[in-house]
Each structure stands twice: as structure tokens, then as C-alpha cells.
Amino acid sequence: MSNLQISQLISEEQIQTRVKEIGAELTKKFNSDEVVAICVLKGSIMFFSDLVRAIDSDIICEFMGLSSYKDATVSSGEVKMTSDINSSVAGRHVLIVEDIIDTGLTMNYLQQNIKNRNPKSITTVSLLFKPDALKEECEIDFYGFKIPNDFVVGYGLDYQGYHRNLPFIGQVASLN
């Protein structure tokens, strides 16, 4: 078990309120069109499951495995696909759902990867965004919260596999 000191940065209530707001904006944007929503495993699972329930459109849920962190708290700088989605996205609206934009490498990789499959449109959303950590320009349509350049856990985000089940976003005070 990890012995992190975790202090709450974003409460469960704040997350739930913001998710509903983003869901309402996406409902407006998609205007009842069918959308293939892609959950980026594993960090986006909580955000994805709450968000898709806040969007009033026909949603096809898909899951993609990507890794850029290997049990570490700094990005390896390399994005690798570990499992692909099952549906074709050619000619369809796509919603990419990320947990956090840190360096921006993962979101850029994802956008390029999906773009190559000729979708009708790509919309991107991330729960968290660390503007001070960006290493490359990254286009994002919606985000939940801007946060400082510190390592966070909870609501799907882990440290060495732990803490994904916290209902809030916590800042890590010390790492051992």
C-alpha cells in the first residue's frame, strides 16, 4: 500500500458540478448526433463514466489503452498504445475523454491517431489541465479545472496503481 500524504485539491462536489456543466455543453454541441466517446484507460474511467451520463446524445462507449507513465510521477515522454478501440470511427463524431493534460504529448498523439482514421469530427475533453507542464502546443475543446504543476491522484488518477478510487482529486504532499 502506498503511504502518500494527500491533501484535497478539488472536492467531489466540485467535480460533479463541473462534469454536469461540461455534459450540458457537449449535449448542446452534439445536438442529438451519435458520438463515439473514447475513454483513455485507466485514468479517465471515473470522469468518463460520469461524463457520458451527463450527455444527452446517442453515445457509443469505446476504450483505448495508452501508457506514458511507468509507475513514475514524471512523463517518460513516450506514448504507447496498449489496446485499441473496437469500433471504426470513419465518418463518425468522436469525443476523446482524457483525465489530465500534463505535457500534452498523449492528447496530441491521440488526436493524430484518431484523425488518421477519418472521423467526421473530433472533440477533446480533459478533466484536468496543467498549463505550466505543457511541452508542446495542445488543442483542447473543454477542460474541467486548471491545476498547478503538481502530481495529483484520485477520481481515476493513480500513484503506482493506488488511489484511483478516491472520490476527490488530491495533491500529493510527499512521495516515498
What are the residue numbers of the active site?
102
Nearer to ligand 5GP, 9 or 36 (CB): 9
Distance CA 169, CA 154 (A): 5
Strand ranges for 32-90 from DSSP E: 34-41, 58-67, 80-83
Length of the chain: 176
By CB under 6 A, the count of residues binding ligand 5GP is: 19
Which 12-51 residues touch ligand 5GP, going by CB under 6 A? 43
Torsion of CA 53, 150, 166, 26, to 10 degrees: 0
Q: Which of 105, 125, 127, 166 binds ligand 5GP (CB under 6 A)?
A: 105
- 169, 10 Cβ separation under 8 angstroms: yes
Pick 58 or 148: Cβ nearer ligand 5GP: 148
Q: Using the rule CB under 6 A, is 63 a contact of ligand 5GP? A: no
Q: Where are the alpha helices (DSSP H) in 36-104?
A: 45-53
Which residue, 22 or 45, is less far from ligand 5GP as judged by CB?
45
Q: Which one of 1-9, 48-56, 82-90, 99-107 is the stretch in contact with ligand 5GP (CB under 6 A)? A: 99-107
Contacts of 174 (CB under 8 A, 6+ apart): 4, 5
Least distance between ligand 5GP and beta carbon 28 (Å): 26
User: How far is 38 from 23, CA to CA, in rounded Å?
Assistant: 15
106 binds ligand 5GP (CB under 6 A): yes
Asked if residue 151 binds ligand 5GP (CB under 6 A), the reply is: yes
Rounded to a whole number of angstroms, the CA Rg of the chain reads 16
Per CB under 6 A, the list member of 10, 57, 93, 98 interacting with ligand 5GP is 98
Question: Is 153 among the residues that bind ligand 5GP (CB under 6 A)?
Answer: yes
Binding positions for ligand 5GP, rule: CB under 6 A: 43, 68-69, 75, 98-106, 151-153, 157-159
